[in-house]
Amino acid sequence: MILLLLACAQDESALEDMLRAGSSLEECEEVSVGQLRTLCYVEVAGAAGSHNDDATANAACAAIPDGVWRQECHFRAGEELGKAGQTDRALRHCVQAGEFAPNCLTHTFWGLPLGLDLDASNPATVNAAMDEFLVTVDTALLDADPMLRMEARDGLLSRAWFNLYVGTGQANPVAAKGAPVDQAPYARTAWAMEAARVHPEPTVDALRQAWNEDQILTGLTQTHQARVGQHARPLFPHVHHDVQAIFIFGGGRRLVSPELDLDLLIAILEGLFYSERSPELWSGYIGHDDFAVRQTAIKNTVLVGGDVTTEDPLDQEIVRAAKKERRSAIRRNRPPRPLPGPPP
Amino acid sequence: MGAADSVVALILLACSEPQSFEECSTVADAVERSDCQYRFANEAGDPKPLLDGMTRDLERDVLIIRLAESDPARAGALCNEVRTDSGRRRCESVLGRPHLGTWGMEKPKHGKAP
């Protein structure tokens, strides 16, 4: 009996070592318990990602059997590389993150390096940098599922243009006007967000005038952390496939019009929403002839607490969706989101 | 039963394959004992009663972590039960991430904004 008790009380240090393992690939290889070995590799991949050690992160994830933990491993590595601004490497991991790929992409968008020292008054430089950036992105996403590739491009373009304008204290429309067609809606949105933020009396007409007259609106810059504005979750029903929509960095989606003037108007209506809360800013457009303009105006009016009455079934649909989002935001105690704090 | 019979019975118990979670405690090797416990606990619908009966914290936490790895959707609840620093650390660094709880569930398209 004593022998048995002694055996049972055997030193458990082997178990403890396996439970703690996670400092290197070699340490993981020594772990004989499958589940603990897997978790060890996940931990190694995350740490390697945060040190820009892509080779170790890849080796760690490859050592895990296919399934949830391999996906999690790539997510961990991707988000860490993304946080470190290693966008292309991060994307390569996100592509392999399976179900977690959208989360991984979101973290990569967040981590996209600021500004790249670009000057918004020089469209040629901006376009060259954006093109180079997109080549990197497309190469990294070569093996990605087409839907994921589209989502990644959408989010990254939204983030890249956001970085160029928002919080910089300068809204110069020249770069947005010079953006290639496929980037122009993102560029207009970002310009409008910053223009609305720095304009002393932002209205649709004032921002449209600034755009048309190439006015360089200036104001206070914001720290990276303060670049958070009012936003809502995506509300436009997915049934209207004929209307294109793009991500707005920070939250939500906006509708896009193929006509420049209308798209500028939509961008301005969304740009105003980033920093303004007065329903009157949008209420003049809730009866607009264009579907996308009207829906944007209705959405934002309702989201800031304004009333909209309409007979149109599709307009009623967006009213209901916006009211639900507003109630939900208030329940989450985020009506809809805190405005940026005072700039430094 | 004489002393000799008792010793024989104990040796037989120690050498034969455990037939229940409780009998796993007779396995001498710590890793094999953990494998045994995991085998029975993984088949049990609710492992909580088995965990409640375990007295060694480290052994218990290893079992919890193994179960959580096998079923990430339950990891959050299982991690609430850990008692050692090593177990807590593993839960915080790997198992406690909320998205793991929804793995395998259908997600809304474009449910997350950048």
* Chain B residue with minimum CA distance to A154: B114
Record: contact A39-B95, CB cut-off 8 A: yes
Structure tokens that stand for B8 in this block = 């024989």
Q: Is A278 exposed, middle or buried (0-12, 13-18, 19+ CB in 10 A)?
A: middle
Task: For residue B6, tell me if it sits in a domain.
Answer: no
- Would residue B113 count as lying in a domain? no
For residue A182, being part of any structural domain is answered with yes
Residue A45: inside a domain? no
Is B75 among the domain residues?
yes
Phi, psi of A51 (to 5 degrees): -105, 15
Q: Cβ separation of B65 and A19 shorter than 8 Å? A: yes
The DSSP call for residue A256 is -
Q: Is residue B23 part of a domain?
A: yes
Of B28, B34, B56, the CB nearest to A33: B34
| A196 vs A219: CA distance, rounded Å | 10
Distance of alpha carbon A88 from alpha carbon A137, whole angstroms: 6
- Find where tokens 């304009």 sit: A199
In a domain, A122, yes or no: no
pLDDT band at B3 (very low <50, low <70, confident <90, very high): low
CB-based contact, B83 to chain A, within 8 Å: no
Whether residue A242 lies inside any domain: the answer is yes
Residues of chain B contacting A159 with CB distance shorter than 8 Å:
114
Rounded distance between C-alpha atoms, residue A168 and residue A198, angstroms = 10
Supply the range of the domain harboring residue B24. Answer: 12-99
DSSP 8-state class, residue A304: T
- A7 in contact with chain B, both atoms CB, cutoff 8 A: yes
Residue-level pLDDT at A154 = 93
Residues ≥6 apart with Cβ < 8 Å to A310: A286, A298, A316, A319
Please tell me the total count of domains within chain A.
Answer: 1
Question: What is the distance between the alpha carbons of residues B47 and B52, in angstroms, rounded to a whole number?
Answer: 9
Please answer whether residues A267 and A158 qualify as being in contact, where contact means their C-beta atoms are separated by less than 8 angstroms: no
DSSP string, A28-55: HHT--SHHHHHHHHHHHHHHHHHTT-HH
Confidence of residue B111 (pLDDT cuts 50, 70, 90): very low
Q: Which domain holds residue A192?
A: 168-344
pLDDT tops 60 at residue B15: no
Q: Is the Cβ of B109 closer than 8 Å to some Cβ of chain A?
A: yes
Chain A hits for B24, CB-CB cut-off 8 Å, are none
Tell me whether residue A284 is in a domain.
Answer: yes
Rounded to whole angstroms, the Cα distance separating A47 from A41 reads 10
Strand, helix or coil for residue A2: helix
Is residue B51 a contact partner of residue B59, using CB atoms and an 8 Å limit?
no
Question: Does residue B4 have a pLDDT over 70?
Answer: no
3-state helix, strand, coil in chain B (%, to 5): 65, 0, 35
B52 lies in some domain: yes
Work out how many domains chain B is built from and give that number: 1
What's the pLDDT score for residue B107? 57
The answer to whether position B3 is within a domain reads no
Distance from CA of B43 to the nearest CA of A (A): 16
Q: Coil, strand, or helix at residue A218?
A: strand
The three-point CA angle A279-A282-A285 to 5° equals 140
Strand pairing of A170-171 and A245-247?
Answer: unpaired
How many whole angstroms separate alpha carbon A260 and alpha carbon B63? 62
Residues whose CB is less than 8 angstroms from the CB of residue A24 and which lie 6 or more positions away in sequence, other chains included? A44
Using CB atoms within 10 Å of the CB of residue A147, give its burial: 0 to 12 exposed, 13 to 18 middle, 19+ buried.
exposed
The per-residue pLDDT string of chain A (344 residues; one tens digit each, 9 = 90 and over) reads 455 444 444 568 899 999 999 999 999 999 999 999 999 999 999 999 999 999 999 999 999 999 999 999 999 999 999 888 889 999 999 999 999 998 899 888 888 876 556 788 889 999 999 998 899 999 999 989 999 999 999 999 999 999 999 999 999 999 999 999 999 999 999 999 999 999 999 999 999 999 999 999 999 999 888 888 888 877 876 556 578 899 998 778 899 999 999 999 999 999 999 999 899 999 999 999 999 999 999 999 999 999 999 999 989 999 999 999 999 888 876 554 443 333 33
Whole-number Å distance between alpha carbons of A211 and A172: 8
Structure tokens at A322: 């916006």
Interface of A with B in 150-209 (CB under 8 A): 151, 155, 158-159
Contacts of A22 (CB under 8 A, 6+ apart): A28, A39, A40, A43, A44, A47, B93
CB A179 within 8 A of CB A148: no
Residue B29 lies in a domain: yes
| Dist CA A187 CA A211 (whole Å) | 12
Residue among B28, B90, B95 minimizing CB distance to A10 = B28
Chain A partners of B33 at a C-beta cutoff of 8 Å?
8
What percent of chain B is modeled with pLDDT above 90? Answer: 56
Residue A8, domain member (yes or no): no
CA-to-CA distance for A251 and A109, rounded, in angstroms?
12
Q: What is the pLDDT of residue B11?
A: 53
Which pLDDT score is estimated for A60? 98
Distance CA A299, CA A318 (A): 6
CA–CA–CA angle A318, A322, A326 (5° rounding):
170
